[in-house]
Homo-oligomer: A and B are copies of this chain.
């Protein structure tokens, strides 16, 4: 259940399905030894911790799937834990996996929840094919590449969220009655998830720069700066997205008010024209014995004239008030 990728500049081996005991014996100096462990099995993690001399506090954090990203220095190891977030287009949702990285000299152990071969496939390929600098550089460069693969997926998810926001905005501008509140809440939730794991990741990276510097070679500093830049960009995107969502919400509320205003104006126009006319018709429907107007042959046409004229005046007045 442990996979080992072992490489240096000239060579490359890979082994599958190792037990912790076997794995710990395979560590070769002058090679980069990358052990990938699945953390579904509690005993496996504890055995691995024991065989590799990993502090029990690290072992607990590895198994605690609720653990937020953090970085800690132990005697022999750097410990880094973060979340892999991958957008799964089939299920149309984000899946998250807890990922812990233990780095020693020439040694990297990754602990992940799911199946191997997800975010790291491209990285494994590069190692196998000796693409780029990966085979020439040390364990810290591999470490950087692992974190970078994770953060790249954050960027992809964020891009997708921004697309959603822009689509939402276009939609509400096209159709003001479009009901956006639930959609806004859903997007906000996804942004919150992303942010929940990104903010402590930034702190972890900062802490690493300060406290873990003796594990990181000077040539790799600029690479880690690059990841930090990406995270910076993500965090500023959260702010902007939040504001865009707030603007959409404001537009929606303003649309609701506008809509209401239009409805009320229609009602008022209808009522203001016809209620007085109905009253007048009611007057001449009364059964008083002595109503001189009723007997005049001009009564009926004059009344119509009066009613039409007053309606026209009313309509003109309302046009002037922009209620029509």
Contacts and interface: CB of A to CB of B under 8 A. Distances in A.
B192 A243 contact: yes
B200 A232 contact: yes
A185 B294 CA distance: 60
B275 A270 contact: yes
Interface stretch (A10-18, A86-94, A123-131, A220-228): A220-228
Interface in A248-270: 249-261, 263-268, 270
B286 A240 contact: no
A200 B296 CA distance: 85
A237 to B, nearest CB: 9
A244 B293 CA distance: 62
A177 interface: yes
A274 B74 CA distance: 81
Contacts of A169: 185
A115 interface: no
Interface stretch (A29-37, A102-110, A276-284): A276-284
Contact of A288 (B57, B179, B261, B284): B284
Contact of A68 (B232, B251, B268, B290): B232
Copies of this protein in the assembly total 5
Contacts of A184: 247
A163 to B, nearest CB: 14
Contacts of A225: 72
B251 A182 contact: yes
Nearest to A229: B70
16 contacts: A72-B222, A181-B254, A192-B244, A200-B232, A259-B261, A267-B267, A267-B272, A270-B272, A271-B271, A274-B279, A275-B275, A278-B278, A284-B286, A285-B285, A290-B297, A290-B300
Contact of A294 (B236, B267, B276, B288): B288
Contact of A250 (B243, B249, B285): B249
A210 to B, nearest CB: 14
Contacts of A283: 281
A295 interface: yes
Given A285-B285, A290-B297, 15 more contacts: A55-B222, A74-B222, A252-B254, A259-B261, A264-B268, A267-B271, A274-B278, A278-B279, A281-B282, A284-B286, A286-B303, A287-B287, A288-B300, A288-B303, A289-B296
A291 interface: yes
Contacts of A323: 263
B247 A188 contact: yes
A177 to B, nearest CB: 6
A322 B289 contact: no
Given A261-B263, A290-B299, A236 B281 contact: no
Highest count of chain B CB atoms <10 Å: which of A179, A249, A264: A264
A232 B204 CA distance: 13
Nearest to A242: B243
A173 interface: yes
